[in-house]
Structure 1
Amino acid sequence: MNEPTKTKNLDRNGLPALPWSRARDLLATQTPKENLTFFVGTVRPDGRPHAAGVGAIWVDDALYFVSGPGTRRARNLAANPACSVSVRLNGLDLTLEGEAEHVADPATLDRVAAVYREGGWPATVESGGFTAPFMAPSAGPAPWFLYRLRLTRAIGVAGAEPHGASRWDFSR
């Protein structure tokens, strides 16, 4: 299990630190069935930021997302895998930081495609990526790449009880 090696309480009002289990459990229960929009932030080769919405899911204690190979996001990740992923979960705003790794092994693709299908996206595995009858118009033609976020840091701000804010660091 991917547990933090360090937790820092960011709350300035005396509230206790939030447990990582709160964020992890919300990711596990709200993806892929809730209508969530995740935003992936990457860095262009010239250093300018880029952000784009993606359909992401939490599977087997890791965050996965898909990108068309010709998209700005995929080209940025090929040059520099550092990225952030942000989402508003029910009661918790969450930003995840780390490096995205392109995943092409058939067992992982099959497992993640099955979870996407549970959420209503009919993904199938083909040519080391995913295909489906529909995808974001900006994704380009299939097959689409799968990425796993190798988590190094997460920041959560609770908008519901119990309130608080925390940063979790993960060793790699």
Structure 2
Amino acid sequence: MKSNVTAPPVRSRAPASLDVLQQLRVVVRLAGNHSAHVERAAGIPGAQLWALHEIAQADGLSVGELAARLRVHQTTVSNLLHRLEAATLVRKGRLPDDQRVVRIHLTAAGRKALKAAATPARGLLPNVLDGMSAAQLRKVHDGLAVLVECMGGGDPALAGKPMPFTK
């Protein structure tokens, strides 16, 4: 026997908070999975690989210039460089006419690690964000700004630290 009851019309509704939470989980996990893949391929964490990529793009960057390219604090870059230098992936040098500024250069091992890595070297999130339209970026930015504000505004210094899974 057929029922004469029809399903209620599908209404456009705002996503429930748990729907949004699931989306955030997916974003974080996708980025983390990519970072793990990069680390397996290159043998170094994603943040270090991104630093190598930026140094390869402009050999002889200063610590401040690299920090600006990575959008992190200079202290964070110094820590990254310490690990990269210990692994002999970069070398630091000073110009003969200006000993104040440290310049960073890739070593042969650094170039090899960069070639062995999965792409994109900058990481999945920066690559995806770079591919978005201005309107899409605005939506993501505005939505995240609301989330950060609702979470208490956050410490601005947090923006200058790499994601935990990229260290």
| Shorter-chain TM-score range | under 0.3
Q: Give 1 or 2: higher strand fraction.
A: 1
The normalised TM-score by structure 2 is 0.26
Q: TM-score, normalised by structure 1?
A: 0.26
Return the index of the structure with the highest Cα Rg: 2
